[in-house]
Structure 1
Amino acid sequence: MGLKIFSLNDDAVEGVLDDIKPFAMRRSGDVLTARVGEHRFVLPGREYRGVSEMRACVYSVIARYRAATKRGAEGGQPALA
């Protein structure tokens, strides 16, 4: 299981996580908004410029998503944004 990236450029990434959860990340000004399924993450976008940095950001978001959903499964409150 993992991420399949369908589209990647300086301003957006689209794909699917674990073959079932839609993944999308878009830049709007200096803010990046990422969605994994029903979860939403907001990051400072000025830190990520270029395709390679966007790809690195994607994996950072996935790590945050996995941590948040793990906390939720353990009865804690997921920290999403």
Structure 2
Amino acid sequence: MEIVTSWMQKEIEQGIEQGEQKIVKKLVKRRFNNIDSALESRIDSLSLEQIENLADAIFDFQSLEDLINWLDQQN
């Protein structure tokens, strides 16, 4: 039986969050033909729940302005 300590669990969760951020940023860049570093930083600062919500919302965005508006509502 493998024992997962709390710090190991935290590292696993951090890895999952970073992986999801990477995937969502890739989707955003593909959808809008790249984004600037300021928007990329804003995405990096999102919580895991917000990243998951963004992954769903991106398919509804018609323009980069929609993404910016969505990010503005997350604060």
TM-score range, shorter chain: 0.3 to 0.5
Higher helix share: 2
Bigger radius of gyration: 2
More contact order relative to length (CA 8 Å, sep ≥ 6): 2
Higher strand share: 1
